[in-house]
Structure 1
Amino acid sequence: MEVVPGREIRVRGQVQGVGFRPFVWQLAREFGLGGEVFNDAEGVLIRAAGGDLDGFQAALLARAPGLSRIDALEARDCRFDAVPETFAIAASRGGAARTRVTPDAATCPDCLAEIAGGGRRQGYAFTNCTRCGPRFTILHGLPYDRAQTTMAGFSICPSCRAEYGDPADRRFHAQPIACPDCGPRLWLERAGGMVAAGDPLALAADLLRQGGILAVKGLGGFHLACDAGNPATLDRLRRAKRRPAKPFALMLREADLTAVCTPSAADLARLRDPAAPIVLVLGTGALPEAVAPGMTRLGVMLPYTPLHHLLLAAVARPLVMTSGNLSGAPQAVGNDEARAMLGGLADAVLLHDREIARRLDDSVERADPPMILRRARGRVPGTLPLPEGFGGAPEVLALGGQMKSAICLVKGGQALLSHHLGDLDEADSWDAFLGAMADYGALFDHRPALVACDAHPGYRATQHARALGLPVIEVQHHHAHLAACLAENGWQRAGGPVAGIVLDGTGYGPDGTVWGGELLLGDYRGVERVGHLAPAPLVGGDAAAREPWRNLLVRLDAAE
């Protein structure tokens, strides 16, 4: 019997739910290969023979789908009894795949063209494919398939099922696949819960043009939207949210960007990223001061769902798109929650019947220098590689601070950072914190050997860490900032000490005092406090952290 040489290629990383297997299938046909590709417990495995194996392997890396992220590609020789006649996408093997879940991604150009075209998804607000659409915000658990998402209640129609089952189609195994015949629907409710008759998008656009405030259900929660150029409406929104000065985020079409801001090439690259974050861009002064009082930069994002694209096209002007919440509370995610929380703030609510599985704010970023200021929708659940020297570290669960809480899971030299969870004094934020621990633990198949937490004994996360029954490592707040900065910049574990200036807020010090404004000398293992601002009273206690003018007053008084 003839033995044919072949190749087995293991692909590890973010390769689930991103169209990777159909990409491999199409590539194999291009390079004349036979064989198979399938998911297994470690990622994606390819077994192929015939044709140009070297060219195929190179193309796997060079042309991988935009939403994928290949952490490792490992190849070894294998043998076939004969050259396979076809290349097939085989059923998953070895249990549920443990590859990472893809973050939510902005609408791709193909889906955007489809929405604007004349086909069956023309004007459909929930169009998506394997290259775009909801992921993490609709996921209940692994493995990532439709039954484990908030799309489970929508039965796929024959037309969508044909696309879903065709490896040559960009919707092959796209779990949120939908169309007007079988997918989520949209409607507009006026104040009091009355469903408005007519096209909900046209009605919503009319309300916004006339100076109304609209609550809009997005991917990870609700926004409050209004005309960014209407000073009276901006003032009404600020009074309703009890938000007198904090900047509002904006959403606008790319064609309208230069009218209100001056984006650099780096700004545009961030704005166009599939994560579609809010990017801080230098403003032109064309919008009312009430959008961002006293600020030279505006928080700008492009529409990132079909619903947003359709709404912005209908309104044809920049919109404020701020979190749909009351002051200090997490944004609403459920329809009933939005009716109760936002009914008194908004003139109408634009709703749909696809549930949101987890609350995600919009990510906030700066392009130059590149910086993620709030890691949220579009960026999670992603991982960051740890510097050299951490490959053999045990699995660690790290619980963050109190007010801008997040968690981090360390495993195999990678750090999985959660989304922004909010102030743990809020009941909903605390529930989200507990839920995130379960979510990310399952997604990362994480079994921590120890837990790290802030040294402040009054933080809820610290108290929770002590109750988990694991060894606890307490880290001083500003030492944690220094270590995070080192890791983010790739400083090796054995790289030696550095000097770090930490101009953060308050942090509980090992001497029992509250630190703030430190010059630290040290590394990952420990630091020495070699300089700091002179201690001063915190007038009002915790209120001084929320209202910095109190600290200024104390400093001015001490300077007399």
Structure 2
Amino acid sequence: MDRMAEVKAEKRLRFFVNGVVQGVGFRPFVFRLAKEAGFSGFIRNTSLGVCVEVQSSSIEKLGLFSRELFEKAPPLAKISSCEIAEIALEEESDFFIVPSDDTGAVQTMVSPDFGVCDDCREELLDVSNRRYAYPFINCTNCGPRYTIIEKVPYDRPYTSMRQFTMCPDCEAEYRDPVNRRFHAQPNACPDCGPVLSMLDLNGKTVDCIDPLGFALDMLRKGLIVAVKGIGGFHLAVDAFDAAAVRRLRKRKRREEKPFALMAKDIETAERFCIINDEERRTLLSPEAPVVLLKKKGACFSDDIAPGNDRLGIMLPYSPLHVLMMERGPSVLVMTSANCSDEPIVIENSEAVERLGGIADGYLMHNRPIYLRCDDSVTVHMSGKIRPIRRSRGYAPAPVLLSAGGPPVFATGAEIKNTVCLLKGDNAIVSQHIGDLKNYEAYSHFLKVTEHLQDIFRVSPELRVCDMHPSYLSTRWAWEQKDMPLLQVQHHHAHLASCLAENRCDDPVIGVILDGAGYGTDGTSWGGEVLIGNAAEVFRFASFEPVPLPGGDAAVSHPWKVAVGYLSCCFDTLPELDFLKNEDTSGVTQLLEKGINSPLTTSCGRLFDAVAALTGLRKDVSYEGQAAIELMQAAGTAEGEPYSCETVPAGNDRWIISLSPVIHGVVDDVRTGRSVSSISRNFHATLVALLCTVIEKAAAFSGIRKVALSGGVFQNIVLFEALVSKLEKKGYTVLAHALVPCNDGGISLGQAVIGREYLKGKYKGVV
């Protein structure tokens, strides 16, 4: 009788687990749980996720297993959903890991690349370990994933490691469920895995026993070494060698844009930078991004980060980096290996070809990189780490949405391009692709676009792109005839992106500030206050439109932008120091005749104009330079707002007048006020203006929730001051912390707007 009761109580449960659960040690974790509980059943990777079946007569143990599946999952595992069902009993005596099933539609997520874990780092530096000083050490808790995978399920034959046959020792680890290298797909050792090699500046192999030592000797001599990492090559020099840094800057044709640094360890980073708890956690995290940190003082040559009070610091995240930093200089410049605005180099032959004339030598290896992936860049603002560039370590981990829906693919913007695929309640935003005006970046865009859809075997029902007719991402979308296409307004996509990552479907007041975006009226927008959500928005207010003499070409010459603003505010061009030695006749003729002087409401151009008016920056060598330096000049003290006003524009709309602001800046310049003082006053003015307009929008709509998006909100002074004042006024503030506020987040917004279109709810900008 007891035996019959026991049989009736026996249950078999099936779990379909989705999320980042392949290649992160999830199967051996489940195997150990099941074995300890005495279950029979199996676990298997499938295209639908990880399938687990467990059978037991202990209901208590089955319940505990269900809880521990979530509560004790490996640190890199991210479970987004789990379907549990009771199924028929099977005749089994043990629990097994069975071969993967790659049939069916892909539901599981692909893991990003993660930095070397503590266990592997310890083995790497242990002279008694068989992987001592092996630069490709990894396990299920760390190492390359996304950059080596061609398709799912994540198994070795589908990665760029398939050319390396594991030796008996590695094979034994790979097959042992209690070993942390169990089914670690990049598993290898010095006997069977990838190896380093050293090439000279002509691309000829250097005959040396220790390629890494040879490369480090070059760095000590002030030479430039191209180093192949996980997602691409870096160009490295000794950060303490000012002449080497200047030589790298000249050869790379990167005049003033800051270089990223790699510090040996957190203690080294703290010698040069102020690091708070959140920044420390981020530096030490498996994602290991670049973090923009406040300098402690003049610790390096000004050529590292000219005109900037922050340094971009990362810690060694690959085993090769760890070995470099252990044996070489304690801080290295580690900048993406490219020239000008080209994408990062990933192939050995490509490195020699494209980096010729820049690198003095090449430290390479023979593990192919399937997908290029730049370092991610982050900054701490208003209590959170926020992405400036979302790439290695984060992509393609999904952004969880508030609801599911049909699959949609979005092509992003022109600069800082990313693409986005919606599948269920997951938004899969690609790694940073770059500026599509560059041919190599456009080729990268094509590869990522194809790969993202192939790897998840999804056929989108809609493709979404920007409205700008000249964007290559838009033109590519036009040329595809395989599905319907929706074009959405740039700033609406910014707003929708912020709402999506905050899982907010409600209408909000959206403050969208950036450099430029194609408006529904054919002009260039960039200082917008919108009311609405992903389905529709009302353009409640915008900055006063001003002419941009020379069009987009003026972006590189803030003094020309300033002349455009002055022409709107003064009858006669005032005599100011920044115009000395400049021939203004050509610019003023364009303005007078209305030739090639499109109107813009851009907040980014307003920053450029003020930077020029103060004499801080007349020309720029990289995007956003003038605005960054103006922000740096403000410091931490609060300013006094200039006179400002908002003007009714009819139909419940408002114009944010800029003429009083420009007059206030000009008056301060004439009276000899410092750039720092003017910058503080200008930032205070923007905050006051935006608060005023938000109050009007709240009175109009009854909404007390504000979303901030657009590249201008990378400005720490503006962002933190505005968030603080709005929260004190009782507003709920939504901002970006998962995708960039700049155009790197546009594709997410486009995609969720596309979902609204497929639901029949989309009305766009009204």
**Normalised TM-score (structure 2):** 0.70
Of 331, 337, 343, which aligns to 1:318? 331
Q: Tell me what 1:25 maps to.
A: 31
The answer on 1:108 being equivalent to 2:117 is yes
Structure 2 unaligned regions, length at least 5: 571-766
The equivalent of 1:249 in structure 2 is 260
Identify the residue that residue 236 of structure 1 maps to in structure 2: 247
The code of the aligned residue for 1:75 comes to I
Is contact 2:46-2:100 (8 Å) kept? yes
SS state at 1:173 partner = coil
Corresponding residue for 1:92? Answer: 100
Structure showing the higher helix proportion among its residues: 2
Q: Distance in 2 between matches of 1:231 and 1:247?
A: 14
Are 1:403 and 2:409 an aligned pair? no
1:494-519 deviations in whole A, cap 9, x for unaligned? x13x2222111111111111212122
1:11 is aligned, of 17, 27, 30, to 17
Corresponding position: 1:523 with 2:536: no
Give the letter for the 1:348 counterpart.
Answer: G
1:205 aligns with 2:211: no
Q: Secondary structure of the residue that 1:70 maps to in structure 2?
A: strand
1:53 paired residue number: 62
Deviations 1:195-249 (A, max 9, x none): 3323111122222122221111111111111111221111111111111211110
Residue 467 of structure 1: how far off its partner (Å) = 2.1
Compared CA separation, residues 34 and 367, structure 1 to 2 (3 A): farther
Cα 1:50/1:260, change in 2 over 3 Å: farther
Question: Offset at 1:557?
Answer: 4.4
1:371 aligned onto 2:386: yes
Which deviations, in whole Å up to 9, do the C-alpha atoms of 1:320-341 show, x marking residues without a partner? 1001111121121111111122
Partners of 2:389 and 2:560 in 1: CA distance: 26
Do residues 131 (structure 1) and 144 (structure 2) align? no
Letter in 1 for 2:317: Y
Task: Return the match for 1:296 from 283, 287, 309.
Answer: 309
The match for 1:187 is 197
Match of 1:75 in 2: 84
CA contact (8 A) 2:17 2:82 kept: yes
Partner Cα distance (2:119, 2:239) in 1: 29
Look up the equivalent residue of 1:89 and give its one-letter code.
I
- For residues 127-526 of structure 1, the aligned pairs below 5 Å read 127-196=137-206, 197-254=208-265, 255-285=267-297, 286-368=299-381, 369-387=384-402, 390-391=403-404, 393-469=405-481, 470-492=483-505, 495-496=506-507, 498-526=508-536
Q: What percent identity do the matched residue pairs reach?
A: 44
Could you tell me whether the CA contact under 8 Å between 1:220 and 1:356 is conserved in 2?
A: yes
SS at match of 1:80: coil
Distance change in 2, residues 1:548/1:146 (3 Å): farther
| Partner-residue secondary structure (3-state), 2:44 | strand
1:301 CA displacement: 0.8
Q: Does the residue aligned with 1:542 lie in a helix, a strand or coil?
A: helix
SS in structure 1 of the partner of residue 173 of structure 2: helix
Deviates more, 1:119-128 or 1:66-75: 66-75
Greater gyration radius: 2
Tell me, what secondary structure is at the counterpart of 1:24?
Answer: helix
Mapped to 2, the partners of 1:19 and 1:525 lie a distance apart of: 40
- Give the C-alpha shift of residue 481 in structure 1: 0.7
1:534 aligns with 2:538: no
- Secondary structure, in 3 states, of the residue corresponding to 2:42? strand
Residues 259 and 304 in structure 2, CA contact (< 8 A), matched pair in contact too: yes
Stretches of structure 1 lacking an aligned partner (at least 5 in a row): none
Instruction: Return 542-551 or 115-124, whichever deviates more.
Output: 542-551
1:547-558 map, 5 Å: 547-558=557-568
Deviation at 1:374, TM superposition (A): 0.9
Q: Which residue identity does 1:460 align to in structure 2?
A: L
The alignment partner of 1:552 has SS state of helix
Output the TM-score relative to the length of structure 1.
0.94
Indicate if the aligned counterparts of 1:98 and 1:443 stay in contact, CA closer than 8 A.
no
Residues 94/223 of structure 1: CA separation in 2 closer, same or farther (3 Å cut)? closer
Amino acid at match of 2:543: L
Q: Is the 8 A contact 2:22 2:153 kept in 1?
A: no
Relative distance call for 1:56 and 1:242 in structure 2 (3 A) is: same
**Whole-Å Cα distance in 1 between the matches of residues 153 and 80 of structure 2?**
20
Give the total of aligned pairs. Answer: 553
Q: Which residue number corresponds to residue 756 of structure 2?
A: none
Deviates more, 1:85-94 or 1:479-488: 85-94
Give yes or no for the alignment of 1:65 onto 2:74.
Answer: yes
- What per-residue deviation string (whole Å, max 9, x for no partner) do you get for residues 462-493 of structure 1? 1221222222211111111111112222212x
